[in-house]
Structure 1
Amino acid sequence: MILKLYDRATLSGFYNEHLDMFGYDERSLGWIEGTQEARFEALTAIADLNDSSVLDVGCGFGDLYGYLLKKGIKVNYTGVDINPGFIRIAESLHPDACFIICDFEDEPIEGDFDWAFESGMFNLKISDNDAFIKNSLRKMYRLCNKGLAADFLNLSAYNIFGHMHLQDPVRLYDFCRTLSGNVRIRQDYKPTEFCVYIYKD
């Protein structure tokens, strides 16, 4: 419990500092400017999402919802994030969407969701990234009816400051196969990232 509290404080400190510095900007989420659209394109290629219900875990500013709207994809969207500052901005940008402030790993989420998405939530190094990723993916899988997509930094990504978690796609694939027999890894959209699709059996 002490480690988890320390981790939450670490995450809050990182994102609050960046939010104070950059405001509504990809850099507040720890991303390099101009990289978000390629990531969203890969994640949402999991299936035809039109007229589906979507859970966005670690939603930040709700930019995934904005991306879907821009593409003309109509969804019933719910975004979840632990950071109140992000959620306040998300609600102002997208008043027609549902946003929830909570710790996804530990707090209950109510709703009926076809698809679950994660983009960037697993990238900062904490005391036990492996447990955090597995717990979160298990919960996302339980909550979705059709499947989930999640994005990761791969082992070739730059980690200059040592605060990023780099994920082995082979190890992740092996874990995801314990959830479902229908798993796909995509490594074709950014040289430093990959995403996983996990479909409900």
Structure 2
Amino acid sequence: MKLLEKASVQAFHKHRLGGSNLQAMGFRGPDSQTKRFETLCTWGNFSGCSILDLGCGYGDLKPFLDARYDNFIYLGVDFLKEFVEAAQERLGHLPNTQFFQSDFLTTGLPEVDIVIASGSLNYRSENVLHPWQIISQMWKIAGKGVAFNLLDAEVFGQDEMLCGYIKDEVLTYCRKLDPQAELITGYLPDDFTILMHK
């Protein structure tokens, strides 16, 4: 992703700061976020695992996981400073919880058990290899697996900031890494989830 593209993403979210958390991150509402999180959690039992949340925003995934799993380590990363500061203020006091600002497109990431990305891979990029490079990076640092969602190009309309992906193309690529990679649809009209295990 080019510098100008990154600046556009920052501007997209900063323009929404001051509204609701969901609005700032581009979600339509709490129901769409909850359904995405619920679907990501069908990956399996996260208890006792280390989890990296790529594009964590305000850290909303953390309390969602807290209500379902025990004794996990949560690391949230986002490249927007305002998100990381707000997440740290809200949730940074919790045990086994850490937030840090980083551009995960260009910097190294810690090895963890599970990597999760909810909505953070949908930004447009002139680099046609962009999504595949990120998926490969996620897979490389994950000791147990990966769960992520993307917008469905067959349903999602044209947008200057976000883009959809063809489900079968993404699944085909992921099955080169994990032959048993699973595609989940039907929880939202314009979204799909990929689950991968090692």
TM-score normalised over the length of structure 1: 0.90
Which residue number corresponds to residue 184 of structure 1? 182
Question: CA–CA distance in 1 between the matches of 2:14 and 2:130?
Answer: 21
Structure 1 segments of 4 or more deviating over 6 A? none
Residue 185 of structure 1 and its aligned partner are, at CA, apart by 0.4
Residue 157 of structure 1 and its aligned partner are, at CA, apart by 3.1
- 2:155 is aligned with what amino acid? A
Structure 1 position 89 matched with structure 2 position 98: no
Which residue number corresponds to residue 104 of structure 2? 104
- 1:148 is aligned with what amino acid? V
Which residue number corresponds to residue 126 of structure 2? 127
Q: Does the aligned pair in 1 maintain the 2:58–2:84 contact within 8 Å?
A: yes
> Counterpart of 2:89 in 1: which secondary structure?
helix
Structure 1 position 26 matched with structure 2 position 25: no
Which residue number corresponds to residue 5 of structure 1? 3
- 1:32 is aligned with what amino acid? R
> Counterpart of 1:36 in 2: which secondary structure?
helix
C-alpha RMSD of matched pairs (Å): 1.6
**Residues 1:146 and 1:19: Cα distance change in structure 2 (over 3 Å):** same
**Residues 1:55 and 1:13: Cα distance change in structure 2 (over 3 Å):** same
- 1:18 is aligned with what amino acid? R
- 2:125 is aligned with what amino acid? I
Question: CA–CA distance in 1 between the matches of 2:175 and 2:158?
Answer: 32
Which residue number corresponds to residue 152 of structure 1? 150
> Counterpart of 1:54 in 2: which secondary structure?
strand
**Residues 1:160 and 1:182: Cα distance change in structure 2 (over 3 Å):** closer
Aligned residue pairs total 194
Residue 154 of structure 1 and its aligned partner are, at CA, apart by 0.6
- In structure 2, runs of 5+ residues without a counterpart are none
Q: Does the aligned pair in 2 maintain the 1:122–1:165 contact within 8 Å?
A: no
Which residue number corresponds to residue 70 of structure 1? 67
Identity, in percent, stands at 24
